Amino acid sequence: AQSVTQLGSHVSVSEGALVLLRCNYSSSVPPYLFWYVQYPNQGLQLLLKYTSAATLVKGINGFEAEFKKSETSFHLTKPSAHMSDAAEYFCAVSPYSGGGADGLTFGKGTHLIIQP
Amino acid sequence: DGGITQSPKYLFRKEGQNVTLSCEQNLNHDAMYWYRQDPGQGLRLIYYSQIVNDFQKGDIAEGYSVSREKKESFPLTVTSAQKNPTAFYLCASSAPGQGEVVGELFFGEGSRLTVL
């Protein structure tokens, strides 16, 4: 069984400040991990993914995430927030054994607010 | 351009009526999924299909039905048995074993259903 916990349903940062969105996972097998972004009334767009290669993963729009097995974490960061980063962010997990065709398990999401 | 098309974008339904949400993909993906999104609850899996003419229940299948007669299409019917159908519905597809990362989902733009 797998699960994802995103700490903080809402995170507020100032424009230009560091963005840190937290994600911890639970998986009985080695996982693949994903971060998705969702803008209002739209679908989800992939930001980045961890697939057991490099532990530091770079994604689109200046975001990156680091896989830490010892902490079972996959936190998302961006050095300098921009107003356009305001959105809902979802962390998700999938086992890379067993085919993985039964979908992803998602966290409840973190709403990122950017203060001018 | 390849992608996933959901229709309609917005739908209003009277209580007791069945409605069908359309999902079409031209990505040549074998697997397709329906998720339900409610504020603060993340995404929950309704049904998924790994191949034509076969589908499986997800975590919240009660009150929903699907069909998969063609690889490209995976319509979702919200029946009158669904007690709280007002939500945002997301369709996704994936191609594990077809060159895509296991578990990575590609999403449509969503359909917002409101019961009057």
Tens of pLDDT, residue by residue over A8-29, are 999 999 999 999 999 999 887 7
Q: Does A32 touch chain B (CB under 8 A)?
A: yes
- 8 Å CB contact of B33 and A100: no
Taking residues A32-48, report their average pLDDT. Answer: 93
Has residue A87 got a pLDDT over 70? yes
Residues of A in contact with B112 (CB under 8 A): 41
Q: How confident is the model at residue B100 (pLDDT cuts 50, 70, 90)?
A: low
Q: State chain B's mean pLDDT as an integer.
A: 91
pLDDT at residue A64 in the model: 97
Which DSSP state fits A28? S
Torsion angles phi and psi, residue A62, rounded to 5: 85, 5
pLDDT above 80 (res A60): yes
pLDDT for the residue numbered A97 = 55
* Residue A102, pLDDT above cutoff 80: no
Q: How far is A77 from chain B (nearest CA, A)?
A: 20
How far is it, in rounded angstroms, from Cα B47 to Cα B56? 6
C-alpha span between A25 and A29 (Å, rounded): 11
Bin A103: left if φ > 0, else alpha if -120 < ψ < 50, else beta. left
Q: Do the chains contact at B40 and A49, CB–CB below 8 Å?
A: no
pLDDT at A83 over 90: yes
B42, B103, B112 ranked by CB distance to A90: nearest: B42
Look at residue A63 and tell me whether its pLDDT is greater than 90. Answer: yes
Instruction: Say which residue the tokens 């001018």 belong to.
Output: A116
Task: Give which of B89, B102, B106 to mutate to test A binding, by max A Cβ within 10 Å.
Answer: B102
Contacts A43 to B, Cβ<8 Å: 4, 6, 90, 107-110
Looking at the complex, report in whole angstroms how far the Cα of residue B78 sits from the nearest Cα belonging to chain A: 19
Residue A12, pLDDT score: 97
Q: How many whole angstroms separate alpha carbon B96 and alpha carbon A25?
A: 21
pLDDT range class, residue B85, cuts 50, 70, 90: very high
Among A6, A104, A108, the strongest candidate for a mutation testing the B interface, having the largest count of B CBs within 10 A, is A104
> In whole angstroms, what is the distance from residue B19 CA to residue B57 CA?
19
> What value does the mean pLDDT take over residues A26-55?
88
Q: What percent of chain B has pLDDT over 70?
A: 92
Question: Which of A23, A39, A102 should we substitute to test contact with B (largest number of B Cβ atoms within 10 Å)?
Answer: A102
Which pLDDT score, from 0 to 100, does residue A54 have? 84
Task: Please determine, for residue A2, whether its predicted confidence score (pLDDT) is greater than 90.
Answer: no
pLDDT, average across residues A57-86: 95
Nearest C-alpha in B relative to A52 = B101
